[in-house]
Amino acid sequence: MLRFIRKVFIFIVLFIVSGVLIAAFDYYVLGNQHLGNFQASILDKTARYNSLEGPKIVLLGNSNVAFGIDSAMLEAATGMPVVNMGLHGGLGSAFNENMVKLGELGKGDIVILSLHTYDDADDIEDSSLALITVEKHRELWKLIRPKDLYGVAKAYPDYVKDCFVFKYSKEDDNTPEETTCYSRSAFNKYGDVERRLESDDNFTFYSGAVTVPGVGKKCTDRINRLNEYVTGKGAVLLIAGYPIGSGEYTPSSEEYDEFEQRLRNDVDCEVISHFTDYFIPYEFFYDTKYHLDENGVKIRTKQLIRDIGDWKRASR
């Protein structure tokens, strides 16, 4: 029995030592190997966030925000500097919401959250994607919650393998790709994706492509905790609409009104949008059912500006 316990103990020690050595090799030798891809835009977004002084607007959400807002237009209309922190839905809503903590909020700041569903599992959907996003940037590891660590640990060996391949082969994920909208170089200084490839067709909608969002307790409880954090900094959290493809396959306005009412009942922050105001014809979508082309971005941003204006007038 003692021999068995000794073997188990030795195995555990060797396992831990091996893990530490691999992590050290990854951190000090391999380094960051995904600096040119879409996820690396978080570095530029964070830098802008921390450079803004005075009351500002912080946009949170997934790629519907990254591909759906003209921040320069929003900034000009509100007179407030804007940073678009929208990134990738595969990270999960909790990760994207937590990005508000990458900068300092203060009195007068407005945080606008735009999700395409309010019913999620409160987890990181793709842990491999999360690792590519945070890499060895220590300031970004605050985005990984304790409950996310198991999934991230499972994905870590493949991440290290990919970093090794990128560093020591002809493959390279550090080079900004000019031939895709899914790269770091596709973003402008505000954090908006501004590159659209003409060779890519608009998204083709189909039956079932457009669905009414859910409202779940895990999500709304988390948003309420986010609201406590934001208001504790003297800022305000608002929920705004997301782009909804409008056409033959779109559910009725009444169904979206019911969803909106459930959401308003369950969150402590203000919902400044009527979601049916974000019905946008199919022709203005790009690549996916949540991304907009340049014309769609203008339509969506103009509606957001109206919503913010209405909210400000009602708050006086």
Residue 295 lies in a domain: yes
Band of residue 230 on the pLDDT scale cut at 50, 70, 90: very high
Q: Which residues contact 182 (CB under 8 A, 6 or more apart)?
A: 37, 38
Model pLDDT, residue 7: 58
Model pLDDT, residue 27: 74
Cβ distance 33 to 166 under 8 Å?
Answer: yes
Measured CA to CA, the distance from residue 113 to residue 227 in angstroms comes to: 10
CA dihedral 65, 68, 72, 73 (to 10 degrees): -120
Q: Which two tokens stand for residue 14?
A: 């060797």
Band of residue 13 on the pLDDT scale cut at 50, 70, 90: low
- Segments forming the whole domain that contains residue 67: 39-126+174-315
Model pLDDT, residue 314: 94
Residue 131 lies in a domain: no
Model pLDDT, residue 92: 97
Model pLDDT, residue 5: 67
pLDDT in tens, 254-277: 999 999 999 999 999 999 999 999
User: Quick check: 72 pLDDT over 90?
Assistant: yes
Measured CA to CA, the distance from residue 182 to residue 160 in angstroms comes to: 22
Model pLDDT, residue 25: 66
Rg of the chain over CA atoms, in angstroms?
21
The DSSP line for 44-60 is HHHHHHHH--SS-EEEE
Residue 240 lies in a domain: yes
pLDDT in tens, 286-306: 999 999 999 999 999 999 999
pLDDT in tens, 101-150: 999 999 999 999 999 999 999 999 999 999 999 999 999 999 999 999 99
pLDDT, mean of residues 65-89: 98
Residue 7 lies in a domain: no
Residue 34 lies in a domain: no
Nearest to 296 by CA among 115, 57, 58, 69: 69
Q: What is the DSSP letter of 84?
A: E
CATH code for the domain in which residue 71 is found: 3.40.50.1110
Nearest to 283 by CA among 185, 202, 184: 202
pTM over 0.85: yes
Residue 15 lies in a domain: no
Residue 55 lies in a domain: yes
Band of residue 168 on the pLDDT scale cut at 50, 70, 90: confident
What is the CA angle 229-231-233, rounded to 5? Answer: 75
Q: What is the DSSP letter of 271?
A: E
User: Quick check: 67 pLDDT over 60?
Assistant: yes
Measured CA to CA, the distance from residue 236 to residue 254 in angstroms comes to: 29
Residue 206 lies in a domain: yes
Total of domains in the chain? 1
Q: Which residues contact 258 (CB under 8 A, 6 or more apart)?
A: 212
Q: Which comes out higher in pLDDT, residue 65 or 24?
A: 65
Model pLDDT, residue 16: 65
Model pLDDT, residue 202: 83
pLDDT in tens, 169-226: 866 676 667 778 999 999 999 999 999 887 667 899 999 999 999 999 999 999 999 9
pLDDT, mean of residues 61-82: 98
User: Quick check: 79 pLDDT over 70?
Assistant: yes
Measured CA to CA, the distance from residue 57 to residue 193 in angstroms comes to: 17
